[in-house]
Structure 1
Amino acid sequence: MAKKRRFIYIKERVWKKLQGWKEKLLSQARREVLIKSVIQTIPTYTMSCFKLPKGLIQEIEVLIRKFWWGYSGAARKVHWVSRERLCEAKEVGGMGFKDIENLNNAFLAKQVWRMMNNIDSLCFRVFKARFFLSCSILDVEEKASGSYVWKSILSARDVIRKGMAWRIGDGQTMRIKEDN
C-alpha cells in the first residue's frame, strides 16, 4: 500500500486529464488519439525507473477503459470488447492500446540492457559497486536490502533472458563448466 501511495500522483494526473476532456463531445477516433498520445505516455518516465504496483496499473487501465467506452457518472456502459483485445495490434483486429504492465517491464528491461552494454556509464558503475561486484547483472541474486530502483530493474531481467542470444565471439568471457 505504501508503494501505491508513492505513485498515486500518476493516477491523479491521468484522472485530471480525463476530466478535462468532454468525452461525450469526442468521437471514438479522437478518444483513441488522446488515450495513445497523452494518457498512456504520462507514466513513461516513472516506468523507466520503477516497477509500478499492479493495483495502480489496474486502476489506470480502468480509467482508460471507462474513458474509451464513454463512462459517465453512475451509469455503467457495456464494454463490448475485452481489455486484452483492445491491447492487441490493429493489424490483428485490436485497437493498439499499450498494456501498461508490459510497457513497464519493457522500460525496465531497457535499463538492464543499458547496464549490460554501457559498462562505462555512471549508473552501471554505481550499481555494480553496490549490488553485483563479482558477477554479471544477469547472475546477481536479489537481496532484501536493495533499493526499490534496484529491485525494479532486477524484476525485468527475465524479459532480457527470454529474448537474448549469446555468441561465443573471441571466447574470453566463456566459462567452460557453467555456460551451455
Structure 2
Amino acid sequence: MRQPNKKLRLPSLVGRRKKEGFNFIKEKVWRKLQGWEGKLLSQVGREVLIKAVIQAIPTYATGCFKLPLGLCHEIETMIKKFWWGQRGDKRKIHWLKWDELTKSKLEGGMGFRDIAMFNDFLLAKQAWRLLKNLESLFYKVFKACFFPNCTIMEAKHTSGGSHAWNSILNGRDVLLRGCRWRIGNGKAMSIWQHHWLPRRHPPQVLSPMVDTLVDAKVTTLIEETSRQWNHEMIDGIFTPLEAELIKAIPLSWCEAEDSLF
C-alpha cells in the first residue's frame, strides 16, 4: 500500500481514511515493542519504557490532529500486552482494566496516559493559543482562513475545513466544557447560556428562564452609571442562592472586556 506523503513527520494530506493515514504511528510503536519483547525486563523497566518512549511517539501528531479512536485503542492494546508480559500469541492475565492503569498512582493506578484524552488536551491547548496569542502567525493564518468574522469560540464546523482545523475545533469544544467567564462589562456573556457563576458545579444559571430575557447579556443586570449589580432586578429573576452568588461577584469600575479563563 502506498504510504501518504509526509511533511515534518506528519501526513501532508488527510483524507477520509484517517486511520490509514496515521497507521505509521502504530507501526512505530509495534517495532519498538517487538525489539523489547524478548528481553528480560522487570515491571519497573516496562513502566519506564512505556512512559518515556512509547507514549512519547504519538505526541507530535496528537498536538496537530485528532487521531481516530480505533487507532488509539489499538496502540493501547499493544501497550497493555507489553505491560502484562505477553509474548507473541501466549496470553497473559490482565489483572487490572486499562481505565484503572491510567489513574494516578495516588489513586491506585500506574499513571499511564489515556491517548485519546491526551489528544483532546493538546488540541485544546492549540485552540487556547488561537484565543489568546493574537499576534502569532498561527493565529493570523487560521483567522483569515476559517473564522474571519468571529473568535475561535464562535467558529463553526464546516465540511470544507481541513482535518487540522476540524481537530482544533474538537479541542475548542473541550475548552467550552471547562472554561469559565470572568466578568468585565458583561456585554459578551449570555445570562443563560454561558458559564459564569462562581461555583464549581454547575457554573451556568439554573434559575427558570425569563421569556423577555432569553438572549439578554449579563450587562443587563449591571447599573450603567454606578457599575454595581441591580439587586432588585437580580432578586426578582434568580433563585435566592443564585442571586446571592451573583451579587457577591466583584465588578470592575472601568469598561473591561469579559474574558475566558
Same fold flag (TM > 0.5):
yes
Q: Does 1:58 align with 2:95?
A: no
Task: State the TM-score, normalized to the length of structure 2.
Answer: 0.65
- Moved beyond 4 Å, runs of 4+: 175-180
- Tell me how far apart the structure 1 counterparts of residues 115 and 216 of structure 2 sit (CA, whole Å): 36
SS of 1:14 mapped into structure 2: helix
Q: 1:68 to 1:74 in 2, by over 3 A?
A: same
| Structural mapping, 1:1-180, within 5 Å | 2-22=17-37, 25-169=40-184, 171=185, 174=188, 177=215, 179-180=217-218
Q: Unaligned regions of 5+ residues in structure 1, if any?
A: none
**Contact (CA 8 Å) 1:23, 1:31: kept in 2 or not?**
no
Shift of 1:178: 5.6
Deviation string for 1:130-171 (max 9, x for gaps)?
Answer: 1111111111110000000000000111221122121123x3
**Contact (CA 8 Å) 2:181, 2:189: kept in 1 or not?**
no
**Contact (CA 8 Å) 2:37, 2:82: kept in 1 or not?**
no
- Highest Rg: 1 or 2? 2
Q: Percent identity?
A: 52
Q: 1:110 to 1:18 in 2, by over 3 A?
A: same
Q: 1:175 to 1:59 in 2, by over 3 A?
A: closer
SS of 2:92 mapped into structure 1: coil
Shift of 1:118: 0.2
Aligned residues: 179
SS of 1:155 mapped into structure 2: helix
Aligned residue identity for 1:107: L
Q: Unaligned regions of 5+ residues in structure 2, if any?
A: 1-15, 191-214, 219-261
Relative to its length, the structure with more helix (as a share) is 1
Shift of 1:20: 1.1
Relative to its length, the structure with more strand (as a share) is 2
Task: State the TM-score, normalized to the length of structure 1.
Answer: 0.93
